Structure 1
């Protein structure tokens, strides 16, 4: 996680991780991508951490208010750590359907179901939470792509002519 937080998606390579862990020399580990293998567990840990951070089942009076509070916290977390968000989201998209990614989705769905159900969600509320979690993850993916595009185009975007008319 610290490597992705500092350097984003491109930084998460087997060699970089091995060097950071002082596991081996520079020449003993090839440049194999680690992004896909680490996406699911990283997301699972982040969602579990955020789920344990507060009692989302009692943070507000209504299910809508609780879900809004949880959504605000999730959004704050990901917007304030853009390199980590990009690394995990891009890897998450590539690894879609793997056991680890399905687990991460389930953890987010569970946290949202607890918020919707006030701690004891019904089967119907669990289904609703799964849909909300899917939509949330889709929006996160779209936000990451838009942010990446914006950062790439910003240095080359033409500046408006601000010269006063003569």
Structure 2
């Protein structure tokens, strides 16, 4: 199972392998919650997940692969939860603002986890492009679903482009928040304004 990219659930053939992968990701989040980015060490993850260090490396080639995969899992969970329920809002901007505020809940609950996952995203190089792509696609799926929840069929190329822009701004705002350049209120206001500008909606009175 040696690979230069992380093994996703779809790559694993047995329930035992999928459970093992889940334990590795759970252990990563637990360590990040305790001590942030620096606390996530491959040996510590392997010990907490009760797997051999070599097994961990076969699933995740590096700490960065592991942390970005945790971010992808968080967004996958958020995507399923948000898209499966009616999205409130009178226009596209209101709906997109709603899903962005409610996506990535794990990133918002614990600042140390948010810091660890965001730093991994910032430090990722070309070897992590598959995992980065997964995060981008999930974020795009959340945004395009909110833009037009009644859409039949696939989003248009324009809608995908708009979603990518909003996703890039969201990630930029997340970096500003975890590095202390903006507080939570400022981050939310910045994202609200950015979404309304991109989608051509006026701010509420």
* Cα shift at 1:122: 2.5
Question: Any conservation in 2 of the 1:35–1:88 contact (CA below 8 Å)?
Answer: no
Which of 86, 92, 105 aligns to 1:63? It is: 92
Q: Does 1:40 align with 2:68?
A: yes
Question: Any conservation in 1 of the 2:140–2:160 contact (CA below 8 Å)?
Answer: yes
What are the within-5 Å matches in structure 2 for residues 125-140 of structure 1? 125-140=159-174
Which of 107, 124, 140 aligns to 1:109? It is: 140
Counterpart in 2 of 1:14? Answer: 42
* 1-structure distance, mates of 2:78, 2:36: 20
Unaligned 5+ residue runs, structure 1? 148-166
* 2-structure distance, mates of 1:130, 1:111: 11
Q: Does 1:144 align with 2:178?
A: yes
Closer, same or farther in 2 for the Cα pair 1:135/1:56, shift >3 Å? farther
RMSD of equivalent CA atoms: 2.5
Relative contact order higher in (CA < 8 Å, ≥ 6 apart): 1
- Taking structure 1 as the reference length, the TM-score comes to 0.74
What are the within-5 Å matches in structure 2 for residues 71-82 of structure 1? 71-74=100-103, 77-82=106-111
Deviations 1:113-164 (A, max 9, x none): 11112253332111101100011011111111117xxxxxxxxxxxxxxxxx
Counterpart in 1 of 2:17? Answer: none
Counterpart in 2 of 1:86? Answer: 115
Unaligned 5+ residue runs, structure 2? 1-28, 182-205
- What secondary structure, in the 3-state scheme, does the structure 1 residue paired with 2:179 have? helix
Closer, same or farther in 2 for the Cα pair 1:102/1:62, shift >3 Å? same
* Cα shift at 1:54: 2.3
Question: Any conservation in 2 of the 1:4–1:84 contact (CA below 8 Å)?
Answer: yes
